[in-house]
């Protein structure tokens, strides 16, 4: 049964997550009973969110919170605001969170949330009303020992502050540990904002070292110049790499000599886009992916690399800052071309790792300095990269399967030791 499932072509993000689960579970020879217990989400909450808009009418939004696993600790995972959010996508993202927390060996399970909405078309006050209604609706599921949300695409520290406030008001006292990715003034951690990009940077350096490619002069292409993508670009730029192309939802830009990344970040902050940055040439999305480079960083959304565009890719390393950017069909093409993949559940795990640090600091009411956060993050990312690489080499499996084997193996161990309730 699992072998057959693993050879099917997945049609959605959740099917892709299940497909990759089967590949790793087969390598691990995981017992059928254990597979049944850990493959599917533990809890799914679907909520209807009526919100009064600025023009006075009431608009109905749909939202979700999925807890995939709490076997190793409280649920943990971000909240996404995007027009294409679906329950299927949230289930996939929650599943990946479970394996990701286990890969970096932090004591959390996996969860995720999302609201189908167009945040760019909404005012701040509409976003606040939507967020507070959503927080109130998922209240039975969340809590510092139950399930701890964080930012994801088009949500940020302000969104987390509203959730923390809504939750705290219902309990009657401040509970900062209910969310991570908060503003520093509310108990956020130093280094959290840049943690995902920094983790991408550390794992990319480890991959380059393994492949004996010098970082100095390495050409980098970044799809999705947001939080994760821009910080990864900035750190690679500081290390001497040359970022030759970046994109956002509006456009792709190119400069063969490389961009001044701090200036590009300031330009994007000011104008809300990368298009029009001085000395840049606009190119098409397909051209961006096909650029000759050492490092390609997909940092936007799922399924951006598939069997249609993967054949044109000319990079040595794909560093998956985004969750699920390569489809299983795309994986097969990249594998056949000898591209070295740093899989999402390893590559972008810096975000949840510093979220864990934030939760620890909130719980202990004792805060660390930035260098302490960076040092601990670097250690965890490098150890985790080494653990995944070892499985990749020992078992001769793709890096994605190796990462899934590490994560799924740890969750399976926890499930087996806990036993079956009742």
The single residue among 321, 381, 408, 412 that binds ligand NAD, judged by CB under 6 A, is 321
**For residues 300 and 333, which CB has a smaller minimum distance to ligand NAD in the complex?**
300
Q: Which of 236, 218, 224, 346 is nearest to 289 (CA)?
A: 224
Give the binding range for ligand NAD (CB under 6 A) out of 114-122, 212-220, 245-253, 311-319: 245-253
In the sheet that 43-52 helps form, which strands lie side by side, from edge to edge? 43-52, 58-69, 110-116, 75-82, 147-151
What is the nearest approach in angstroms of ligand NAD to the Cβ of residue 282?
13
Residue 300 binds to ligand NAD (criterion: CB under 6 A) = yes
**For residues 19 and 198, which CB has a smaller minimum distance to ligand NAD in the complex?**
198
**Which of 100, 112, 182, 316 is flagged as catalytic?**
112
The reply to whether 112 belongs to the active site is: yes
The single residue among 188, 328, 351, 409 that binds ligand NAD, judged by CB under 6 A, is 351
Q: What is the longest distance spanned by two Cα atoms in the chain?
A: 65
What is the nearest approach in angstroms of ligand NAD to the Cβ of residue 16?
14
Would you say 219 and 295 are in contact if contact means Cβ atoms under 8 Å apart? yes
Tokens of 301: 């959304």
Residue 322 binds to ligand NAD (criterion: CB under 6 A) = yes
Query: How far is it, in rounded angstroms, from Cα 307 to Cα 304?
Result: 10
The single residue among 134, 154, 277, 374 that binds ligand NAD, judged by CB under 6 A, is 154
Per-residue contact string for residues 199-228; x = within reach of ligand NAD by CB under 6 A: ------------------------xxxxxx
**For residues 154 and 359, which CB has a smaller minimum distance to ligand NAD in the complex?**
154
**For residues 288 and 412, which CB has a smaller minimum distance to ligand NAD in the complex?**
288
**For residues 6 and 221, which CB has a smaller minimum distance to ligand NAD in the complex?**
221
The single residue among 7, 84, 123, 249 that binds ligand NAD, judged by CB under 6 A, is 249
**For residues 10 and 224, which CB has a smaller minimum distance to ligand NAD in the complex?**
224
What is the nearest approach in angstroms of ligand NAD to the Cβ of residue 118?
13
How many of the other CB atoms lie within 10 Å of CB of 311?
12
CA–CA distances in Å: residue 207 to residues 34, 120, 196, 348, 384: 32, 36, 17, 14, 12
In the sheet that 281-283 helps form, which strands lie side by side, from edge to edge? 281-283, 252-254, 242-247, 219-223, 295-298, 317-319, 340-342
Residue 196 binds to ligand NAD (criterion: CB under 6 A) = yes
Please, what is the angle between helix 370-395 and helix 350-364, to 10°? 130
Which residues are CB-neighbours of 214 under 8 A, at least 6 positions away?
Answer: 208
Query: How far is it, in rounded angstroms, from Cα 368 to Cα 344?
Result: 27
Residue 363 C-alpha from the chain's centroid: 24
Residues that bind ligand NAD (CB under 6 A): 151-154, 196, 223-229, 247-249, 299-301, 321-323, 348, 351
Active site positions, annotated: 112
């Amino acid at each position: 049964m699992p072998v057959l499932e693993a050879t099917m072509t997945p049609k959605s993000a959740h099917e892709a997550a299940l497909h990759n689960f089967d590949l790793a579970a087969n390598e691990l020879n995981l017992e059928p009973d254990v597979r049944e217990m850990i493959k599917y989400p533990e809890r799914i909450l679907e909520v209807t969110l009526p919100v009064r808009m600025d023009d006075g009418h009431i608009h109905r939004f749909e939202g979700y919170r999925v807890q995939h696993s709490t076997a190793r600790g409280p649920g943990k995972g971000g909240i996404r605001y995007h027009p294409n959010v679906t329950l299927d996508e949230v289930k996939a993202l929650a599943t990946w969170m479970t394996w990701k927390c286990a890969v970096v060996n932090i004591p959390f399970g996996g969860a995720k949330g999302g609201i189908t909405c167009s945040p760019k078309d909404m005012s701040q006050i509409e976003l606040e009303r939507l967020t507070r209604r959503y927080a109130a609706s998922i209240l039975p599921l969340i809590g510092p020992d139950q399930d701890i949300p964080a930012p994801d695409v088009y949500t940020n520290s302000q969104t987390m502050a509203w959730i923390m406030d809504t939750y705290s008001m219902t309990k009657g006292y401040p509970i900062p540990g209910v969310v991570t990715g908060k503003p520093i003034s509310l108990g956020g951690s130093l280094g959290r904002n840049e943690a995902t990009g920094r983790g991408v940077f550390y794992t990319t350096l480890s991959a380059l070292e393994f492949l004996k490619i010098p970082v100095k002069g390495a050409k980098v292409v970044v799809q999705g110049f947001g939080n994760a993508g821009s910080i990864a670009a900035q750190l690679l730029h500081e290390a001497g790499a040359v970022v030759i192309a970046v994109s956002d939802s509006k456009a792709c830009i190119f400069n063969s000599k490389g961009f001044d990344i701090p200036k590009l970040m300031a330009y994007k902050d000011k104008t809300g886009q990368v298009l029009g940055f001085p000395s840049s040439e606009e190119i098409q999305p397909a051209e961006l992916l096909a650029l000759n480079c050492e490092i390609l960083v997909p940092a936007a959304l799922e399924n951006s690399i598939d069997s249609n565009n993967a054949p044109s890719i000319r990079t040595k390393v794909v560093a998956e800052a985004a969750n699920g950017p390569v489809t299983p069909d795309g994986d097969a093409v990249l594998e056949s071309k000898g591209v070295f993949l740093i899989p999402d559940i390893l590559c972008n795990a810096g975000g949840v790792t510093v979220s864990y640090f934030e939760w620890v600091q909130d719980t202990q009411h004792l805060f660390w300095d930035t260098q302490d956060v960076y040092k601990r993050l670097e250690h965890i990312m490098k150890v985790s990269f080494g653990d995944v690489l070892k499985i990749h080499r020992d078992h001769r499996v793709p890096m994605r399967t190796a990462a899934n084997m590490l994560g799924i193996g740890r969750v399976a161990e926890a499930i087996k030791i806990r036993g079956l309730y009742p």
